[in-house]
């Protein structure tokens, strides 16, 4: 198991929202797994090395949402 980081995302309301966010974050180099919980806005990223906030922010923005 690699590094884990937890982020909060605003604006997600459904499974499609979560899938969009997970898809974009999973494209960040080194990301191994993404677990999104719509109800809490929580996104847990497992990666081979620490993931920069800027990379996660850009991926979440690409999906149409924002980091808290």
Written as one string, the DSSP assignment of the chain is --EEEEEEEES--SHHHHHHHHHHHHTSTTEEEEEEETTTTEEEEEESSPPPHHHHHHHHHHTT-EE-
Contact status, residue 4 vs residue 48, Cβ threshold 8 Å: no
Integer Cα distance of 11 and 50 in angstroms: 25
Q: For the chain, list residues with pLDDT below 50.
A: none
3 state DSSP class of 32: strand
Quote the pLDDT of residue 28.
Answer: 98
Quote the pLDDT of residue 1.
Answer: 62
Quote the pLDDT of residue 13.
Answer: 95
């Amino acid at each position: 198991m690699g590094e884990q980081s937890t982020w909060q995302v605003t604006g997600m309301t459904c499974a499609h929202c979560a899938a969009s966010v997970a898809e974009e974050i999973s494209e960040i180099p080194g990301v191994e797994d993404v677990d999104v919980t719509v109800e809490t806005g929580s996104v847990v990223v497992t990666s081979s090395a620490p993931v920069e906030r800027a990379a996660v922010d850009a991926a979440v923005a690409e999906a149409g949402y924002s980091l808290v």
